[in-house]
Amino acid sequence: MREAELIAELLTKPAPSAETVAAGRLRLRRESPRRRPSRGLLFGGGFTALVAGGVAAAVVVSGFGGPVPAEPPTDAATILLAAAERAETTPTETGKYWHVRAFSFLGQDYNKPDPHSTGERESWTTTDGLAWMKSAKEPLRKFRTGGKFTLCHKEITYRQLAELPTDPDALYARLHRLATHNGIGPILPQDRKLFTATCMLSLLADQPAPPRVRAAAFRSLAGLPEAESLGTQRDPAGREGTVLRITYGGTWEKLIIDPETGIVLAMERVETREGQTLVQKTVFYEVGWTDTPPA
């Protein structure tokens, strides 16, 4: 799909009907086993953005539709806990390159995209620090990252990612420390919970975390009272998934996840402060290890 067509699809996709949302919720209740959310994680979430050190990290995806009646957080917890079980039992991937292909949108609102931050990007990164990246506007280029990926706006090695805690409380605490001492300056106390959940979403969306760490991230998010289920919907690429939203003050984040695999298909963040709105969106086409070299 051409870039202009995809942007149009992102910005004009209608909201799901009330009947569709209700049917989706009913199906989720019937199909998903009830489990209690993890204790001790009553914090909210946000979303991290970007291309750091030339390695594509996520911005977020649009067009999930308009206002939808909220569900109690137990519904979101059920979905997230089921995703955690699937993530934990997923075989560990192998490959020479960590590959991310995504379409990103960044703008002041849905109708004002930033031309420098909107479009398709693709990256390949090795565990020893070599990386390649290309976009719709730039040809393939090779560079060295120093063996680091990016999490919470901080550089992190592949080994550090692999050794993140597999306990939900411990993982939250680790990311909360990263959020407090990040690489872009001080985070205000009222924003730390939001930024911590943002880090968690980035970890799930496009970082090479092992299955048990991903499972811990889902379980951590399941403990957030700010998380709610919005039923099922197709993402801009036509893939059906479960929609979840996390809200803090004037900022909310949505993600569409594949209920069968726990893979994040798309994300959207809308932040309003002092009368200014920032919209970030991403559709994730391909995320994972591959032996296919950059091209």
Q: What is the mean pLDDT of residues 195-216?
A: 93
Model confidence band, residue 249 (pLDDT cutoffs 50, 70, 90): confident
pLDDT of residue 184: 57
Mean pLDDT, residues 133-161 taken together? 88
* Alpha-carbon separation of residue 21 from 47, 78, 155, 211, 247 (angstroms): 24, 16, 39, 30, 19
Lowest mean pLDDT among 2-16, 18-32, 96-110, 168-182: 18-32
**Of 22-31, 69-78, 176-185, which range is least confident?**
22-31
Is pTM beyond 0.85? Reply is: no
Residue 123 clears pLDDT 50, i.e. is over it: yes
In this model, does residue 257 exceed pLDDT 80?
yes
pLDDT over 80 (residue 140): yes
181 pLDDT band, cuts 50/70/90, is low
Per-residue pLDDT band for 22 (boundaries 50, 70, 90) equals very low
Distance CA 37, CA 92 (A): 25
What is residue 141's predicted lDDT score, i.e. its pLDDT? 96
Range with the largest mean pLDDT of 106-110, 112-116, 143-147, 159-163 = 159-163
The mean pLDDT of 21-39, rounded to a whole number, is 34
Lowest mean pLDDT among 68-82, 203-217, 227-241: 68-82
Average pLDDT over residues 47-54: 32
Mean pLDDT of the chain, nearest integer: 76
Evaluate if residue 183 carries a pLDDT over 50: yes
Model confidence at 49: pLDDT above 70: no
**pLDDT at res. 130:** 92
In the chain, where the domains are located: 3-264
Q: Judge whether residue 175 has pLDDT over 50.
A: yes
Phi, psi of 23 (to 5 degrees): -65, -40
Q: How confident is the model at residue 65 (pLDDT cuts 50, 70, 90)?
A: very low
Predicted local distance difference test score (pLDDT) of residue 45: 30
Q: Is the pLDDT of residue 11 over 50?
A: no
